[in-house]
Amino acid sequence: MAEQFDLTVIGTGPGGYVCAIRAAQLGMKVAVIEKRDAPGGTCLNVGCIPSKALLHTTELYEEASSHFETFGIDIGKPRINLPAMMRHKADTVDANTSGVEFLFKKNKITHFHGTGSIEGPGKVVINDEKGDRQTIETKNIVIATGSESMPLPGVETDEKRIVTSTGALELEKVPGKLLIVGAGVIGLELGSVWARLGAEVTVVEFLDRILPGMDGEVGKQFQRLLQRQGFTFKLGTKVTGVDADGDTLKVFTEPAQGGDTEQIDADIVLVAIGRRPFTEGLGLEEAGVERDERGRVKTDEHFKTNVDGIYAIGDVITGPMLAHKAEDEGVAVAEILAGQAGHVNYGVIPSVVYTSPEIAAVGKTEEELKADGVEYKVAKFPFTANGRAKAMLAKNGFVKILADKKTDRVLGAHIVGRSAGELIHELCVLMEFGGSAEDLARTCHAHPTLSEAVREAAMAANDGPIHM
List, by residue number, the catalytic residues. 447
Applying CB under 6 A, which of residues 46, 55, 142, 321 lies at the interface with ligand NAI?
321
CB 26 within 8 A of CB 2: no
Which position among 34, 59, 189, 366 is part of the footprint of ligand NAI (CB under 6 A)?
189
Q: Does 51 bind ligand FAD (CB under 6 A)?
A: yes
Letters for 233-262 (x = contact with ligand NAI by CB under 6 A, - = none) are -----xx-----------------------
C-beta closer to ligand FAD: residue 69 or 286:
286
Instruction: Decide which of ligand FAD, ligand NAI, none touches 55; Cβ closer than 5 to 8 Å per partner kind.
Output: none
* Beta-sheet pairing, 115-120 with 123-127: antiparallel
Kind plus residue range of the DSSP H or E element containing 389: helix 387-391
Q: How far is the CB of 214 from ligand FAD (least distance, A)?
A: 14
| Residue from 136, 186, 431, 457 binding ligand FAD (CB under 6 A) | 186
22 binds ligand NAI (CB under 6 A): no
Select the binding partner of residue 13 from ligand NAI, ligand FAD, none (C-beta < 5 to 8 A, by kind): ligand FAD
Rounded to an integer, what distance in angstroms lies between the CA atom of residue 264 and that of residue 262? 7
Burial of 261 (0-12, 13-18, 19+ CB in 10 A): exposed
Read off the amino acid at residue 294: R
Do residues 441 and 455 lie in contact, with contact meaning Cβ atoms separated by under 8 Å?
Answer: yes
E strands, 205-357, in order: 232-234, 237-243, 249-255, 262-266, 268-271, 275-277, 310-312, 351-353
Judged by CB under 6 A, the stretch of 116-124, 201-209, 277-285, 437-445 that binds ligand NAI is 201-209
Q: Are 25 and 6 contacting, i.e. CB atoms less than 8 angstroms apart?
A: no
Per partner kind, with CB cut-offs from 5 to 8 A, the member of ligand FAD, ligand NAI, none near residue 358 is none
> Cα–chain-centroid distance for residue 123?
33
Longest dimension (CA), the chain: 73
Binding residue for ligand NAI (CB under 6 A) from 114, 167, 187, 435? 187
Task: Work out what residue 386 binds among ligand NAI, ligand FAD, none; the CB cut-off runs from 5 to 8 Å by kind.
Answer: none
**Does residue 187 belong to the site contacting ligand FAD (CB under 6 A)?**
no
Tell me: does residue 168 bind ligand NAI (CB under 6 A): no
Instruction: Give the Cα separation of 155 and 152 in Å (integer).
Output: 6
Quick check: 13 binds ligand FAD (CB under 6 A)? yes
The correct pick among 10, 93, 136, 152 for binding ligand NAI (CB under 6 A) is: 152
Binding to ligand NAI (CB under 6 A) within 341-360 occurs at: 351-354
CB of 209 to ligand NAI, least distance (A): 8
20 interacts with ligand NAI by CB under 6 A: no
Residue in 427, 372, 371 with CA at minimum distance from that of residue 399: 427
Q: 16, 182, 191, 382: which one contacts ligand NAI (CB under 6 A)?
A: 182
In terms of CB distance, is 69 or 159 closer to ligand NAI?
Answer: 159
Pairing of strands 123-127, 133-143: antiparallel
Q: Which of residues 106-165 bind ligand FAD (CB under 6 A)?
A: 115-116, 144-147, 165
Minimal CA–CA distance to 80: which of 157, 161, 173? 173
Q: With CB under 6 A, what is the number of residues at the site for ligand NAI?
A: 27
Sequential DSSP letters for 318-358: SS---HHHHHHHHHHHHHHHTTS-----GGG--EEE-SSSE
Q: Is 15 among the residues that bind ligand FAD (CB under 6 A)?
A: yes
Angle between helices 82-106 and 14-25 (to 10 degrees): 30
The DSSP symbol for 384 reads: G
Write out the residues near ligand FAD by the rule CB under 6 A: 10-16, 33-36, 41-43, 47-48, 51, 115-116, 144-147, 165, 186, 278, 281-282, 314-316, 321-324, 326, 354
Write out the residues near ligand NAI by the rule CB under 6 A: 152, 181-187, 189, 204-207, 212, 238-239, 272-275, 320-322, 351-354
